[in-house]
Amino acid sequence: MSVLVYTESEQGKFKKVAFEVASYAKAVADQLGTSVTAVAVNVEDTSALANYGVDKVLSVKNPVLDVFNAKVYADVIKQAADKESSQVVILSSSANSKYLAPLLAVHLNAGYASNVVALPSNTSPFTVKRTAFTNKAFEFMQINTAIKIIGLSNNSFGLVESSGNATSEAFSPSITESGIKVESVDKVTGKVAIADADIVVSGGRGLKGPENWGMIEELADVLGAATACSKPVSDMGWRPHGEHVGQTGKPVAANLYIAIGISGAIQHLAGINASKVKVVINIDPEAPFFKAADYGVVGDAFEVVPNLIEKLKAFKAQQ
């Protein structure tokens, strides 16, 4: 009857989001008076999960799972849910989890709510709060199936440490190859991925040209942030398409989003407004982005950004 949580990993190590979903699963399990079981795939050392309230880890080790395949992963998690008789399954709202969750819902005959931002109601009916209309509204959704799947919105719950011991159990689900086989995935290395980033530094057309992106990269480097851009910037080939954020690009739910030379068009805001703190640097005080910003700097990016980098470097040197 434990709450089951899928803890995402990459190259044998947990992603930060794994600890957030584990923290959330622990809070849900406390509400229900039960324990937390995590599914970990090809993770070398799973002990860190104990710090976030996990009681038991089902550790799956199989080289076939090195490359993500939604059908196969959904099948693995389904078998874990069956084994644990789990009534609640928790995943993140990453692209991979959003891909596999509907397949899992079919396997488990479960209701699924994505982009959930709070704990479920403690009373019947089981109701979750989720974002709707590209983060412009919240909706409360009842899940009335026996098994419920919750996709937690990134950075909505945070990390909650709790002391404990997690037992680790080798778990060997039967894995049937699906019709689709991903041969290999080439990833950009040495860069923070937008999906995993706590901080995102984003540039727009106000930066005038690709030759000016050095300061954006330097700022991102100082902050340990991912770089992103507005749609026209990637359309013009100033930056790779993988950096385009917004309604038609990648969604961003970072703790800090810094928009530099971006006007704040509705299609851009739709993709980034789940971010907690938004800082805008724009030369035009009338730029619409200021209405959506938590902090704004009216100024020329070519003066403000180098100054900011210098100040941050000096601050870091004092630490």
Ligand X SMILES: Cc1cc2nc3c(=O)[nH]c(=O)nc-3n(C[C@H](O)[C@H](O)[C@H](O)COP(=O)(O)OP(=O)(O)OC[C@H]3O[C@@H](n4cnc5c(N)ncnc54)[C@H](O)[C@@H]3O)c2cc1C
The residue range among 91-99, 119-127, 130-138, 260-268 that interacts with ligand X, by the rule CB under 6 A, is 260-268
Is residue 231 involved in binding ligand X (CB under 6 A)? yes
Q: Please identify which residue in 111, 204, 251, 296 interacts with ligand X, judged by CB under 6 A.
A: 204
Distant-in-sequence, close-in-space partners of 241: CB < 8 Å, separation ≥ 6: 234, 249
122 or 267: whose CB is closer to ligand X?
267
The residue range among 69-77, 112-120, 181-189, 280-288 that interacts with ligand X, by the rule CB under 6 A, is 280-288
Task: Tell me how far CA of residue 312 lies from CA of 49, 203, 223, 259, 309, in angstroms.
Answer: 33, 19, 8, 17, 5
Q: Please identify which residue in 53, 111, 120, 261 interacts with ligand X, judged by CB under 6 A.
A: 261
Is residue 282 involved in binding ligand X (CB under 6 A)? yes
x/- map, 289-308, ligand X, by CB under 6 A: -----------xxx------
Is residue 134 involved in binding ligand X (CB under 6 A)? no
91 or 245: whose CB is closer to ligand X?
245
Cβ 311 to ligand X, closest distance in Å? Answer: 18
Cβ 304 to ligand X, closest distance in Å? Answer: 7
Is residue 113 involved in binding ligand X (CB under 6 A)? no
Cβ 195 to ligand X, closest distance in Å? Answer: 15
Number of residues that bind ligand X (CB under 6 A): 26
Query: Which bin fits 118, alpha (ψ -120 to 50), beta or left (φ > 0)?
Result: beta
125 or 285: whose CB is closer to ligand X?
285
Q: Please identify which residue in 247, 276, 292, 312 interacts with ligand X, judged by CB under 6 A.
A: 247
Is residue 141 involved in binding ligand X (CB under 6 A)? no
Structure tokens that stand for 275 in this block: 């971010």
Are 36 and 65 within 8 A, CB to CB? Answer: no
Closest CA to 150 of 236, 92, 109: 92
Q: Which residues are at the interface with ligand X (CB under 6 A)?
A: 204-206, 230-233, 246-249, 261-263, 265, 267-268, 271, 281-284, 287, 300-302
